[in-house]
Amino acid sequence: MTSVTTEPIAELQRRFADAPATEVIRWVIERFPRERRVVVTSLQAEGTAIADMAFGIDPAIRVVTIDTGRLPEETLEYLDALRRHWGREIEVAVPDPRELDPFLTRNGANAFYNSVQLRLRCCELRKVRPLNRVLAGADCWISGLRRSQSEHRADVPVLAEDAEHNGILQVNPLAHWSADEVRAYLTDRGIPLHPLYARGYTSIGCAPCTRAVQPGEDERAGRWWWETGVAKECGIHGRPALLEATG
């Protein structure tokens, strides 16, 4: 049993395995009170599509993005474009300077290039902990993972207990969608696309840690491109093994 639903998780997984994304999102919205559920988006195509579907069902749903402090200017401009498009608020979670400042003082602003441990520590302080604070009062969060994004995400379920966040429910309504299907959804809905996609990016994160990919490369190959042998993850969705060693 999940800690937040009365239904066995396996039963929910069977029920929603191939369900339309809006059906999954509607179930979350009807199942959990507004203050106990949240859409989390990094403002990539998947999260934007999910936020659009969720706003269509509950216009007051809580939608949150994390501003790490190192986002590309294009992402900040895109956030404003989406606010204008929907006429809705999008909450912004930020790192806690009491945690981040000592790290910067000790290691410098671009320490992530120096070692995997320092990169993961930066992700921990700028992304993971802000998300933890967002989810502290939630029973369920909706995110935009897709199986075809990378080998590491090949088995992403539509619903699962999130061991990283006290066993709350994590829901990925687009788990079985392709990148093209997500873009087509946004196009059909007249929703602007993040401008960096037009410049060869297939995954978009912090400015110093993301670049465009070459044809045929993995969707997430442009993330932390200088690293080898480590999952292209920040710790929010699956904690890379080395993170444990960073304290």
Give how many residues touch ligand SF4 by CB under 6 A. Answer: 13
70 near ligand SF4, judged by CB under 6 A: yes
Give the span between the Cα atoms of 194 and 184, in whole angstroms: 14
Q: Spot the catalytic one: 122, 123, 209, 234.
A: 234
Q: Min. distance of Cβ 205 from ligand SF4 in angstroms?
A: 5
Q: Min. distance of Cβ 111 from ligand SF4 in angstroms?
A: 8
Catalytic residue flag (residue 234):
yes
Percent composition of the chain: helix, strand, coil (DSSP 3-state, to 5): 45, 10, 45
42 near ligand SF4, judged by CB under 6 A: no
Report residue 30 as tokens: 């009807």
Q: Give CA torsion, residues 218, 224, 225, 229, to 10 deg.
A: -80
Per residue, the 3-state secondary structure of 38-85, as one string, reads EEECCCCHHHHHHHHHHHHHCCCCCEEEECCCCCCHHHHHHHHHHHHH
Q: Are 246 and 124 in contact (CB under 8 A)?
A: yes
Of 227, 225, 228, nearest in space to 214 by CA: 225
Of the two residues 78 and 177, which places its CB atom closer to ligand SF4 in the complex? Answer: 78
Q: Min. distance of Cβ 38 from ligand SF4 in angstroms?
A: 20
Instruction: Mark 119-158 with x for binding to ligand SF4 (rule: CB under 6 A) and - for no binding.
Output: x--xx--xx-------------------------------
Strands, E assignment, 72-155: 91-93, 140-142
Q: Min. distance of Cβ 233 from ligand SF4 in angstroms?
A: 10
Instruction: Mark 178-207 with x for binding to ligand SF4 (rule: CB under 6 A) and - for no binding.
Output: ---------------------------xx-
Q: Which of 68, 75, 150, 202 binds ligand SF4 (CB under 6 A)?
A: 68
Q: Min. distance of Cβ 174 from ligand SF4 in angstroms?
A: 22
Q: Are 34 and 180 in contact (CB under 8 A)?
A: no
237 near ligand SF4, judged by CB under 6 A: no
Report residue 19 as tokens: 């369900």
Q: Which residue has the tokens 């995110």?
A: 143
220 near ligand SF4, judged by CB under 6 A: no
234 near ligand SF4, judged by CB under 6 A: yes
Give the span between the Cα atoms of 48 and 30, in whole angstroms: 21
Q: Which residue has the tokens 């093994």?
A: 241
Give the span between the Cα atoms of 75 and 8, in whole angstroms: 38
Q: Min. distance of Cβ 227 from ligand SF4 in angstroms?
A: 10
Q: What is the binding site for ligand SF4 (CB under 6 A)? A: 68, 70, 112, 119, 122-123, 126-127, 205-206, 208-209, 234
Give me the active site residues, please.
234
